[in-house]
Structure 1
Amino acid sequence: MSYNFDQIIERKNTNSAKWDGLKDVFGKDDVLPMWVADMDFRCPQPIVDAIVKRAEHGIYGYPKRPVSYYESIIYWMKKRHNWDIKEEWISFSPGVVPALNMLIMALTNPGDKVVVQSPVYFPFFSAVKNNNRVLVNNELKLQNGNYVMDFERLEKQIDSKTKMLILCSPHNPVGRVWSREELKRLGEICLKNNIIIVSDEIHSDIVYSGYKHTPIASISEELAKNTITCIAPSKTFNVAGLYTSVVIIPNKKLKDKYKNILERIHIGMGNIFGIEALEAGYRYGEEWLENLLKYLEGNIEYSINFINKRIPKIKAIRPEGTYLLWLDYRELKLSNKELKNLMVDKAKVGLSDGAMFGSGGEGFQRMNIGCPREIIKEGLERIEKAINQL
């Protein structure tokens, strides 16, 4: 089957947060949206067909997840990531961010310390702070154009109150796909110090040639018992609006604690169309995904070549995974406010402000390249023109 990822599909006036929420985010609605992490591609046809078929039934009562739903998750994790998981490990969340909050509530106490590694997806910070836990930041190190974890600093920051580490794997926004060796070392530190790992692996299916995603829980049985893994079809198949995520918890004691929070808040039932989309995607979406990955790799090459040749004052960190490009503007020597104004008011491009991702993000911007190449071309040309006018 052929796939036309170059097709530009009108998303304005579809209640799209990305396209119709510009004024709320940027203060104006004439910017080109390349910010929030959803793609501008139509999702795989099997997902559309499954949703349409279910919609045609005409009754949308409370849903129940069938055995086939769990089987599709188990199949996908084995096929794509060589991890054998069991049905009894699988739980639900309406999103990875709600899962992070519920897991913090379930598995730690107020005053406990939770480690994150910035610059990182900013809801990690609020999940810790809003639940009255203490945020410990182990900032990533940028070395020779590549980010690495600072294991020595991490071990120095750990004490008896450190109870959890939230891992972003692959990492948003810097695009790292952590190696098995890096994950093993991180896991060993957490096991030695009785720190539970919560691994956000929502981008795990968006990994490029030469790299392989390793679920940290798949490395050993000991790590599996100490890790909660959060995945979703949302980034993979562009179905974020269906709010259906998977929480994999091999340790029954930890799973029971999570289940207690899920039931207390009463949000475990799920979205009837999300159930259909997840199963259809994991069963029939692989061919579409493989074609998507090739197109995204082309977008990355186009973007980096454009930046290197025409906007050399910007440095692009080449992503190993995700459809997010982490752009280094620090050579411009602008304040954070000046940089935001340059992008929004002069270039009229809506990117994600690097400072939102915590320490180490100042002077950076995150660009979503999950869109037709013509949109990327327009966005980069706008940025080029604005910088040339400085």
Structure 2
Amino acid sequence: MLSERSIPVIRATLPAVGAALDEITGRFYAGMFDAHPELLRDVFNRGNQANGEQRQALAGSIAAFATMLVERPDARPDAMLARIANKHAALGITPDQYKIVHDHLFAAIVDVLGDAITPPVAAAWEEVYWLMANALIAAEAALYRQAGFPDGRTWRRMEIVERHEETPDAISLSLRPADGSPTPSFRPGQYVSVQIELPDGARQIRQYSLSCAPSRPLWRITVKRVLDGTAPDGEVSTWLHRHAAVGDQLTVSAPFGDLVLPDGDGPLLLASAGIGVTPMLAMLAHLATTASTRRVTVVHADRSRTDHPHRDEQRSLVAALPHATLQLWYEEADPDVLAGGDGIASTGRVDIGSLALPDGLTAYLCGPMPFMRAVRGDLLRRGLPAAAIHYEVFGPDLWLGQQ
């Protein structure tokens, strides 16, 4: 909780700081990477730095946290903090790195806002920062303990035992511990980090959802190659597509992520687009292996049938559940896919208005941001409470300041 003396200071300065946050975070990252190039080389996603998405996500999280402190002082954005903490744990973030972030962030704030940062203003924003940082440090420590790695060293070597071409631009890799130990369990919907040493010596990290049932003796990740012509975007996925082979070893983290299948028997909506199908596959596989009788509506959107990763597997898993239905939408018309029917694709974009939404529904979304924005907006207009809508983002969460 923010102190009484700091609340009016933050309330008065939040508009100015918020308006300058994009410039502040830009200077912050430039200064921090100049002083600590190893962070850009081995921790931060260079693609997201190049396109500015990481900067936007940091600005959104700071603004959201500060706004909640002054507008709802008795509340805390636990969903936002949990999402960030899981991403940090998957990267192996340590408490000492928060001091590095603090020093460079506040240097950037002073650099941008100058004389407006008086000692009382600086003290109030210091309080905001450490409230958020300490909450994340505590949450990350709990995640490390739950994973069985209280020191935060969650990395292990995993051997590739299977590789499959799922679509022209998506491969799946099945993994097992290289030391012969049992494959750890995970919660359906979680992801792991994969660290790859690239030709320039950088050890870049990316997250990939586990796309199989937790009961399976192997982990499986599905990697879509990112090819948008913007270097260094897609450098890890491209490396895996070109080089990952059966018998090779990868450095992989413990499973993390807060988009996980809940216990209970309430109805579910699993809505995905593109490679966002992967956490939904783990949820469906878990439901199928446990003979669940839950009512499950599965929605998936893609460019075309050939672009749909694990299409046949998804259809088989839905068919194995007695109260599950599958609705597919493909942007490209396919003469071999007729519109209508259970599990047969319609042409165009997802139409939430055509779905029956039972009482007590919990929705899970994963896919590109425009898809999730559209589906979430449609669900809210249909009367589903915001608290019943959960999502996963591959990359920086640009929704952080809007939840």
Place the TM-score, normalised by the shorter chain, in its bin: under 0.3
TM-score, normalised by the number of residues in structure 1: 0.26
Q: Which has the higher contact order (CA 8 A, sep 6+)?
A: 1
TM-score, normalised by the number of residues in structure 2: 0.25
